[in-house]
Amino acid sequence: MKYEAPDTVEAAVGLLSSAQGTARVLAGGTDLLVQSRAGMVEPDLVVDIKRIAGMDAITEEDGGFRIGAAVSGAQLGEHDGVKAAWPGVVEGVELIGSTQVQGRATMIGNLCNGSPAADSVPAMIAAGATVHVVGPDGSRDVAVEEVVTGPGKLSLSKGELIASVFLPKPEAHSSDAYLRFIPRTEMDIAVVGAGVALTLDDSGTVSAARVALGAVAPTALLVDACAQAIVGTTLDDAALENLAAAASAACNPIDDKRGTIKYRTKVAGVLARRAAVIAKARAGETS
C-alpha cells in the first residue's frame, strides 16, 4: 500500500486517475481502516485528502452551506448555522459512532462507504443535498440519491472524488428530522432510518416535502409517494397513515440478524410518520 497526502484537488484526482489496482480516498478513515484491517479491501493506494485547503471548511453559499469532504461529525455538530438550517441532517450525522468516531467520521465518507444503512444519507437526500464531484474530465454536481447504486457501489468514475456536499438554503417555514431504529440506545447500525424535510405554508399546510428511507433497500430511497401523501395536508391522522403506508410499500429490505423483512417494512412506516411530525413541529418554529 502507498500513502499519499496531496495538497490540491487536482493532484488528488491525478493520483486516483493514474492509480494501478485499488485506490481509496481517505478522509476520516473510520470505515476504510476497519475494512482494510479486516481484509475486506486491500488498497494499493490511499489518497488522504485532509491536506487539501478547504476540505475541512463549512462555508455559506447562496444561503445554504457547503461542507468539505474532511469535515468531521464533531465539527459539523458544533456549527450553529447548519444545525439551525438542517437539524435533521446534523442529527443523522451525529448518530454515527462514538465520540471518538465523531472526531474523524465525515458525511461524505458515510455516503461513499455505500452502506444502505448509512445514517447521514436519508437526511441528506431529504434535504435535497448535492455533492460536488471532481474528476479528470472536470467537475459536476450530483444529487445525493444518485451517488450510491448498490451496497458498496458508487456512480463515480475512476479518478473522481467528492470534494464537498451542498445543503441548500431552506425555504421559509421549513425543517427536517431524521430517526433511526436500533435495538439499543446508541452506537449501532440502523435497522431502519427515515429522513423527512418539509415546508409549511402560512396556514400550516405542507406545501413541499421530501422523504427518504435507509436500510430498507439496496440503497437509501427517495420516496415520492411519501411526499405525495403529505403535501397539501396538515399532517392529520389520515395523512400520517397514508405516509406510513407509502413508506412501507416502498421497502425492499433484506432479512438479517438486525431485522426481518416484515419488521423493517412495518418500522419504516412508523419512523417516517414520527420524523414527519418532528419536522413539522420544527418548521412551525422557524421564521
Partner 1 sequence: MSRTHVTTTVNGDTVEFLCDPEETLLDALRDHLGLTGSKEGCASGDCGACTVKLDGRLVCSCLVLAAESVDRKVETIEGMADGDDLHPLQQKFLEMGALQCGICTPGFLVAAKDLLERNPEPSETQVRYCLAGNLCRCTGYDKIIRAVMETAEDMRGA
Task: Give the residue, chosen from 9, 19, 23, 30, that forms a contact with partner 1 under the rule CB under 8 A.
Answer: 30
CA angle (243 as vertex; 240, 249 as ends), nearest 5: 145
Closer to partner 1 by CB, 68 or 128: give it. Answer: 68
Q: How far is the CB of 27 from partner 1 (least distance, A)?
A: 11
Closer to partner 1 by CB, 44 or 256: give it. Answer: 44
Task: Give the residue, chosen from 9, 16, 19, 29, that forms a contact with partner 1 under the rule CB under 8 A.
Answer: 29
| Dihedral sign computed on CA atoms, order 237, 179, 226, 251 | negative
The rounded distance, in Å, linking the Cα atoms of 268 and 266 is: 6
Q: Residue 257 interacts with partner 1 (CB under 8 A)?
A: no
The rounded distance, in Å, linking the Cα atoms of 38 and 5 is: 23
The rounded distance, in Å, linking the Cα atoms of 117 and 257 is: 14
The one-character DSSP state at 106 is B
Q: What is the 3-state secondary structure (H, E, C) of 168-225?
A: CCCCCCEEEEEEEECCCCCCCCCCEEEEEEEEECCCCCEEEEEEEEECCCCCCEECHH
The rounded distance, in Å, linking the Cα atoms of 255 and 262 is: 8
Binding mask 3-22 for partner 1 (x = CB under 8 A): x-x-----------------
Closer to partner 1 by CB, 82 or 96: give it. Answer: 96
Q: Residue 1 interacts with partner 1 (CB under 8 A)?
A: yes
Task: Give the residue, chosen from 34, 84, 238, 249, that forms a contact with partner 1 under the rule CB under 8 A.
Answer: 34
Q: Which of residues 199-218 bind partner 1 (CB under 8 A)?
A: none
Task: Give the residue, chosen from 101, 225, 245, 270, that forms a contact with partner 1 under the rule CB under 8 A.
Answer: 101
Closer to partner 1 by CB, 44 or 201: give it. Answer: 44
The rounded distance, in Å, linking the Cα atoms of 23 and 77 is: 30
Q: Residue 48 interacts with partner 1 (CB under 8 A)?
A: yes
Coil, helix or strand at residue 61:
strand
Residue count, binding to partner 1 (CB under 8 A) = 26
Closer to partner 1 by CB, 50 or 83: give it. Answer: 50
Task: Give the residue, chosen from 20, 63, 80, 186, that forms a contact with partner 1 under the rule CB under 8 A.
Answer: 186
DSSP strand E in 105-191: where?
Answer: 130-135, 138-143, 148-150, 153-154, 161-167, 174-181
Task: Give the residue, chosen from 64, 68, 88, 97, that forms a contact with partner 1 under the rule CB under 8 A.
Answer: 97
Q: Residue 26 interacts with partner 1 (CB under 8 A)?
A: yes
The rounded distance, in Å, linking the Cα atoms of 35 and 125 is: 26
- Binding residues for partner 1, per CB under 8 A? 1-3, 5, 26, 29-30, 33-34, 36-38, 46, 48, 50, 72, 74, 97-101, 103-104, 186-187
